[in-house]
Amino acid sequence: MNKVRIGLIGVGNMGSNHAIYLANNEIENGELTAVLDVRDERLEWVKEHLGQQIEVYKDEDDFFQSKNIDAVFIATPHYDHPRLVMKACEKGLHVLCEKPIGVFTKNVREMNECAKKSGVVFSVMYNQRTNPLYQKIRDLIQTNELGDIRRINWIITNWYRSQSYYDQDGWRATWAGEGGGVLINQCPHQLDLWAWMTDMMPNRIRAFCHFGKHRKIEVEDEVTAYAEYDNGATAVFITTTGEAPGTNRLEIAGDRGKVVVEDNELTFWRLRVPESQFNREYKGGFGVPEVWKCDIPIDGVETKHKGITQNFVDAILNGTALLAPGKEAINGLTLSNAMQLSTWKDDWVDLPLDEELYYEKLQEKINGSTINKEEKKETLNVEGTF
């Protein structure tokens, strides 16, 4: 194989964006050959804007029986992801799936087992992993430049969404259609980065989710969470879709210094000696360790969605290591599920997560859903979003 033939499932908000760059041959050795969507108007859009050479399908089984695809790219509503991922794997097709890869961790475990058994390449669209800034933070942590992590604070409130956003499609912001709000739709990127950069998971979480606080929705639109780690480190995570202007500020403090990210800029405060050593040796009463403000080179360009897609194609053709392998998607989703479960229980949640209890509570929310919005099926322009 010298080219990967890609079948795209779903050409809504994000799917149409992926379809355009694939059809424009912006992915080296990757080609869009087929599209599946249940809406006639979206299939007509594909024919009109992307070319008659692309096969279009409304029937799922016909799509999967096509002899013209080597891999599938899934960009459907969240609950469809696990079933479609596993169906593709069973057909021997490589899979790239939009985030979130699933709504609950039990599903993700099943997907990973299926992909491993089938031997296919399985990746998830965590495109923020292509950001050189977050790659550098991961490097500073993995090489022990920060020392042992002590505290993580992330305020991510620039996910502003108006009521019209939620009203544009019937599945959005409902337990039955989406399985959550800001944690499952907007913040999977930050939750994934939190686990990926630090390469560590908390041992317990206490969270306060507010459901429909700022918008007429039934899922969470504001969250404050506190987490604790085995090594004594703590983390605070704050997010909302109802605040303007929003903030995106990340602080990670360690024994050897602190990194701060705000306005897409990284500041590294380096201690001349580790804080633990200074505390052990200093006898002067009042005093603090000597601090250096260091300029850290950030090399490379953020390649976003195209970068993950190119990496996926390269993994299939050349065995390139995946930047966002499907098996790692469970970490960020665990944090999300734990925050919701903590709120529902009004108590701490220990990790590893009680997956059965979470699933049980989620089903209660789905069965008790009271919001029935008229489905407008409007496709929005997502240029500039994550």
N residues, the chain: 386
In the prediction, which pLDDT does 377 show?
53
Query: Distances in Å between the alpha carbon of 355 and those of 82, 131, 362?
Result: 16, 31, 10
- Residue 13: the pLDDT is 87
**Domain spanning 129-301+332-367: CATH 3.30.360.10:** yes
300 contacts: CB under 8 Å, gap ≥ 6: 132, 135
**What pLDDT is recorded for position 171?**
86
CA 170 to chain centre: 22
Specify the pLDDT at position 371: 61
8 A C-beta contact, residue 84 and residue 8: no
- The pLDDT of residue 53 is 95
What's the pLDDT score for residue 372?
Answer: 56
Cα angle value 126/129/130 (rounded, 5°): 110
User: How many C-beta atoms surround the C-beta of residue 102 within 10 A?
Assistant: 27
Exposed, middle or buried: residue 28 (CB in 10 Å: 0-12, 13-18, 19+)?
Answer: exposed
Owner of token pair 């502003």: 160
pLDDT of residue 169: 84
What pLDDT was estimated at residue 57?
98
Say whether 273 sits in a helix, a strand or coil. Answer: coil
- Ordered per-residue pLDDT tens for the chain, 386 residues: 899 999 999 999 899 999 999 999 999 999 999 999 999 999 999 999 999 999 999 999 999 999 999 999 999 999 999 999 999 999 999 999 999 999 999 999 999 999 999 999 999 999 999 999 999 999 999 999 999 999 999 999 999 999 999 998 888 999 999 999 999 999 999 999 999 999 999 999 999 999 999 999 999 999 999 999 999 999 999 999 999 999 999 999 999 999 999 999 999 999 999 999 999 999 999 999 999 999 999 999 999 999 999 999 999 999 999 999 999 999 999 999 999 999 999 999 999 999 999 999 999 999 988 765 454 455 555 555 55
| Whole-angstrom distance, CA of residue 1 vs CA of residue 11 | 26
Count other C-beta atoms under 10 Å from residue 131's C-beta: 21
pLDDT at 167: 92
The fold of the 4-127+303-326 domain, in CATH, is Rossmann fold (3.40.50)
For the chain, give every residue range classified as CATH 3.30.360.10: 129-301+332-367
Nearest to 383 by CA among 77, 21, 30: 21
Three-state DSSP state, 257: strand
CATH 3.40.50.720 residue window(s) in the chain: 4-127+303-326
